[in-house]
Amino acid sequence: MRDSARVIAALDWSMTQIHNFGAGPTGLPLAVRERLADALQVPFDHAPSLLEVSHRGARFLEVSTRLRAGLRTLLGLGDSHEILLMSGGAQLQFALLPMNLAASGTATYLESGHWSRTAVAQARPVSRVEIVGSSAATGFTTLPAVGPVPSDAAYLHYCGNETIHGVQFSAPPTAESPVIADLSSEIFSRPYPFSELAVVYASAQKNLGIPGLTVVAMRRDLLERSPRSLPPILSYRAWAEAESMPNTPATAAWLATMEMVEWMLREGGLPAMAARNAAKAAAVYACLDRHDCFETPVAREARSSMNVVFRLVDRAEEPEFLKAANAAGLLGLEGHRAVGGMRVSLYNAIEMSSVEALVAFLDAYAQRG
């Protein structure tokens, strides 16, 4: 065994609790897990559970109504925006947005990391595309500014929080054209000026529940842009007309998101989420900053409160570090395969007690002698 591996292995970790820092799919609040488990209980009369009945029946339509009501409350949006509950993940939106909204005009993008770059790649086959600001030159450790935008810009797309690179916009960029935000890894982590945005979308498997549902809030006037030539299943207008049920929805994901949204509201809504998330991120960054053995590549002003990325100065020690973290019950700390290193995801479901366990582990690692 390498010396460093021996040292880490010697740290005395009693595995008392599991802490899930995965980037998504990831942990749900215990209260949500319990409610989902209850929803599947077999009652004495063997009546079907919510996941075994038609999505068009009264029982599931109540889920839909409660889900929409909760989303509207958290988004703080009145009637200006349509809420679409879609399938196919955020990546399908990468393609649908240019197909529907940039049939004429140029789709413009801020490139701030892996996900905004992927959004550009999905748009290129179907639209004229221009990147109007990029932080590629810094390896996506800073945030791009908006440069000159073409006069026929159909929209400006940005990714609010880059889940892999760990950079986050503190506020939406401003532009004359409609602004579209991929908030997949930060939605509802803090109050946000949703009403300033033309489109906000997020896949559910981070702050909103489990995979299968993508929430899209779209300004109603934009629905008119969907070309009539599009197959209806790819058309936002058709999804709105079908009240988000042109086909069978991912009922389990809708139910999980309903529970997540109602949990957030019970916990005090977005101000409460923001206070907790700020405290969690501050504790993790402070720990990483006070020890020389850790490196945080992201510029301070661009640091994400949701996905904290870091490296060990001694890169060779990272595999053993991750193994020891796992053994200590700290799961999901591997960085994305595209960048390596480590990543701590601090979504709404993560408790401060989990952060304290992580910080204790990091402190002990740093002081291992």
Q: Which active-site residues does the annotation give?
A: 115, 182, 206
Cβ-based nearer residue to ligand PMP, 115 or 263: 115
Beta-sheet strands, E only, within the chain: 19-20, 81-86, 106-111, 128-134, 153-159, 161-162, 167-168, 179-182, 199-203, 214-219, 294-295, 307-312, 330-331, 342-345
Q: List, in order, residues 6 or more apart from 171 with CB less than 8 Å away.
A: 193
Q: Is 26 in the site for ligand PMP (CB under 6 A)?
A: no
Q: Give the 3-state secondary structure of 111-152.
A: ECCHHHHHHHHHHCCCCEEEEEEECHHHCCCCCCCCCCCCCC
Least Å from the CB of residue 89 to ligand PMP: 3
The C-alpha atoms of residue 230 and residue 299 are separated, in whole angstroms, by 42
Stretch that binds ligand PMP, among 35-43, 52-60, 180-188, 276-284 (CB under 6 A): 180-188
Cβ-based nearer residue to ligand PMP, 225 or 343: 343
Q: Which of 308, 288, 305 is nearest to 361 (CA)?
A: 288
Cβ-based nearer residue to ligand PMP, 100 or 184: 184
User: Which residue in 122, 141, 168, 185 binds ligand PMP (CB under 6 A)?
Assistant: 185
Cβ-based nearer residue to ligand PMP, 194 or 361: 194
Query: Within 310-349, which residues bind ligand PMP (CB under 6 A)?
Result: none
Q: Is 235 in the site for ligand PMP (CB under 6 A)?
A: no
User: Which residue in 134, 184, 207, 226 binds ligand PMP (CB under 6 A)?
Assistant: 184
Least Å from the CB of residue 360 to ligand PMP: 28
Residue nearest to ligand PMP (CB): 89
What secondary structure letter does DSSP report for 334? B
Q: Which of 219, 210, 208 is nearest to 183 (CA)?
A: 208
Q: Is 90 in the site for ligand PMP (CB under 6 A)?
A: yes
Stretch that binds ligand PMP, among 9-17, 120-128, 177-185, 343-351 (CB under 6 A): 177-185
Rounded to 5 degrees, what angle do the CA atoms 283, 289, 292 make?
140
Least Å from the CB of residue 260 to ligand PMP: 15
Residue that is written with structure tokens 């058709």 in the block: 238
User: Which residue in 64, 100, 168, 203 binds ligand PMP (CB under 6 A)?
Assistant: 203
The C-alpha atoms of residue 362 and residue 310 are separated, in whole angstroms, by 12
Q: Is 182 in the site for ligand PMP (CB under 6 A)?
A: yes
The C-alpha atoms of residue 118 and residue 54 are separated, in whole angstroms, by 35
Q: Is 89 in the site for ligand PMP (CB under 6 A)?
A: yes
Q: Are 341 and 167 in contact (CB under 8 A)?
A: no
Query: Within 146-165, which residues bind ligand PMP (CB under 6 A)?
Result: 159, 163
Q: Where does this chain bind ligand PMP (CB under 6 A)? A: 24, 89-91, 115, 159, 163, 182, 184-185, 203
